[in-house]
Structure 1
Amino acid sequence: MIRLIQQNVFLGIIIVALIIAIATYVVNKNKKESEETIVREFYGLGTIIRLRVDGKNGEKAIQEAVDRLNIIENKMSVFKEFSEVSMINKNAGVSGQEVSSDTFFLIKRAVEYSELSEGTFDPTIMPIVSLWRIGSDNPRMPSKREIERTLKLVNYEDIIINEKSHSIGLKHRNQAIDVGGIAKGYAADEVKNVFENHKINSALIDLGGNIYALGTKPDKNLWNVGIQNPFDTRGEHIGVISVENKSIVTSGNYERYFTKGGKIYHHIIDPKTGYPSESEVISSTIISDHSIDGDGLSTGVYIMGLEKSIKLIESLKGIDAIFITKNKEVYATSGIKNSFNITNTEFIYKDNL
């Protein structure tokens, strides 16, 4: 059994964390399968990427996917000084930055998810996240004054999108965008498109925990995906869903945090308060047709809270969710409930609110 687990690093220092354990037989099980099964693992987008492809064009498809991922990273990484996103941030409060269709599309979608989530997902949260430094070697608790002052810079409505000039800008100096909370979803979808163009019918795409299961396994069975137990070590799941042609993205508070004064401060920061979210939800998993939806929604619904989140997801076509609360209660939206089986008896299935 292979478990695919999120790494601790990513494109930027945005508010997202993802941990997913894949419980499925994806290693070459016999000689016939191994002849056409190609697995490549490498570092990219600030994380460990693992691509597994079955098909005659596998090697060529994977290489094209790697090239595509490199292009996306070079355009969107805040750690690359001359990336398009870095240039937007450098020009904040001064002028817009003309960008490629990739970056323009992604930031437009990020704003849409911000609107859907009532601002609980906000790509301009970078200045606040930088204050906390959670996940680094020296996390800190900012002062109330620091947070209040910096919160003035966090507002997705300050992103200026100019269709005519194909440019993106920010209204005020010192504002900054980090698309790390959505870029891996976009990248996973782009890899899927590359594979489909090469007539690949069976593949597993893992971008540091963003999972896309393309088609079925070579034996025609569905991919079995285990949802991480947020109270336990990596790779321990509470239940399993069986999927094909689906993305699975999880946000949880258990991957990056620090403790101060006996209190745990996790890395999922609420853009409205500037402090770690205190929602009753401790894990939110989005199952969707497109990985960008999972990335764009998983953190926002985590912060929104259970009732609002269930209502939102139920209103969106092709998107479902699984929520785990502090009380070890599990809620699943209607489209996925019959496909998800709890295997850990410590957790209880509850009817939606």
Structure 2
Amino acid sequence: MTAAVADTVTEVRFPAIGTTAVLLVTEPAAAPVAAAVLRAHLADLDRACSRFRADSEIRGLERTAGSPVPVSPLLAEILDTALRAAELTDGLVDPTVGTTMAAIGYDRDFAALPVDGPAVVPLPAPGWWRIGWNPRRREVLLPRGIALDLGATAKALAADRAAARIADTAGCGVLVSLGGDLAVAGPHPADGWRVLVGDDHTRPDPDGGQTVAIVSGGLATSGTTRRRWRRGGEVVHHIVDPRTGAAPGGWRAVSVAAASCVDANIASTASVVLGASAPGWLAERGLPARLVADGGRVCTVAGWPAGAPAGAGTG
């Protein structure tokens, strides 16, 4: 998913949290301050919930498992968001899937993963309901043997928080894109923010993808075309079904528009896990979505413009 840069918009792009951060602002003079705000948000996010930093807060929770531990305000917000996602999706999006990820070998930065390795046995997630969370006291009790993976919802939350903070601080329109997670805030360009939606945020779809325009809220794409590797000769990827520990099939990409990037991300991730029942699930919730099947067939629901060519938009 990539955003088109209008003549009146300034772009800043840099690597962060294992992906590419893209920042667009409607006032060129605001770009340095906006970039500093975004970098600070992402640095805080990494310290709070990176699975691959020994000094991150969630790694600290693993070391103190079995005892209640106070957490920072940021991690408290991230945990609230992750547990809300689990509840809304009946566990299709589950923060205890970190245990499952470790079982399939995704226990380090993706760039450091071996191309192949021994065969793995899928391990279901322990279950989000096992996390002891006291929001009033900002205290969490993580059972022993459970590893958290807050990456999906935390990244989307960072996009929402950063976009809102930049719009408030700089007084301009802003778009923040973190991999497949995108949030906008403040006044938008005359034609809205033009976004090319595809399978892979780093390159267009083979069929050209689809360009849409957004003016508020968020847009998220979850897919299986990136972060793929092999174990025992079998392809695995970074989205797993928490109920089984296996990689789901059916959709190679699901893009969802919602009132926030967090809500869009929750729905897009759950839809990849759901498989064939995802279009109905999304339609019941009134969430506009574009689903691309493993074979390339495109399905749209809930008002997403069906069959619109690249360049067409939704206001």
Q: If the TM-score is normalised by the length of the shorter chain, which range does it land in?
A: 0.7 to 0.9
Equivalent residues of 1:113, 1:296 under 8 A apart: yes
Aligned CA distance change for structure 1 residues 335 and 215 (closer, same or farther; 3 Å): farther
- Residue 137 (str. 1) matches residue 113 (str. 2): yes
Equivalent position amino acid for 2:48 in 1: K
Match of 1:330 among 294, 298, 303: 298
Aligned CA distance change for structure 1 residues 316 and 98 (closer, same or farther; 3 Å): farther
Equivalent residues of 1:306, 1:323 under 8 A apart: no
1 CA distance for matches of 2:140 and 2:134? 6
TM-score, with normalisation over the residues of structure 2?
0.84
Identity %: 21
In the alignment, which residue of structure 2 is the partner of 1:61?
Answer: 34
Equivalent residues of 1:123, 1:181 under 8 A apart: no
2 CA distance for matches of 1:127 and 1:161? 18
1 CA distance for matches of 2:169 and 2:86? 34
1 CA distance for matches of 2:213 and 2:182? 13
Match of 1:116 among 88, 106, 113: 88
CA deviations over 1:169-190 (Å, ceiling 9, x no partner): 223x121112112111010011
**Displaced runs of 4 or more, over 6 A:** none
Equivalent residues of 1:54, 1:200 under 8 A apart: no
1 CA distance for matches of 2:59 and 2:81? 18
In the alignment, which residue of structure 2 is the partner of 1:100?
Answer: 72
Aligned CA distance change for structure 1 residues 168 and 303 (closer, same or farther; 3 Å): same
1 CA distance for matches of 2:231 and 2:67? 40
For this pair of structures, how many residues does the alignment match?
303
Aligned CA distance change for structure 1 residues 95 and 261 (closer, same or farther; 3 Å): closer
Unaligned runs of 5+ in 1: 1-19, 345-353
Matches within 5 A, 1:204-219: 204-214=175-185, 218=189
TM-score, with normalisation over the residues of structure 1?
0.76
Equivalent residues of 1:132, 1:140 under 8 A apart: no
Aligned CA distance change for structure 1 residues 80 and 328 (closer, same or farther; 3 Å): closer
In the alignment, which residue of structure 1 is the partner of 2:5?
Answer: 25
Matches within 5 A, 1:64-83: 64-83=37-56
2 CA distance for matches of 1:45 and 1:116? 26
Unaligned runs of 5+ in 2: none
Equivalent position amino acid for 2:117 in 1: R
Equivalent residues of 1:131, 1:142 under 8 A apart: no
1 CA distance for matches of 2:296 and 2:84? 31
SS at match of 1:190: helix
User: Radius of gyration: which is bigger?
Assistant: 1
Matches within 5 A, 1:299-310: 299-307=269-277, 309-310=278-279
SS at match of 2:308: strand
CA RMSD of aligned residues (A): 2.8
Aligned CA distance change for structure 1 residues 242 and 52 (closer, same or farther; 3 Å): closer
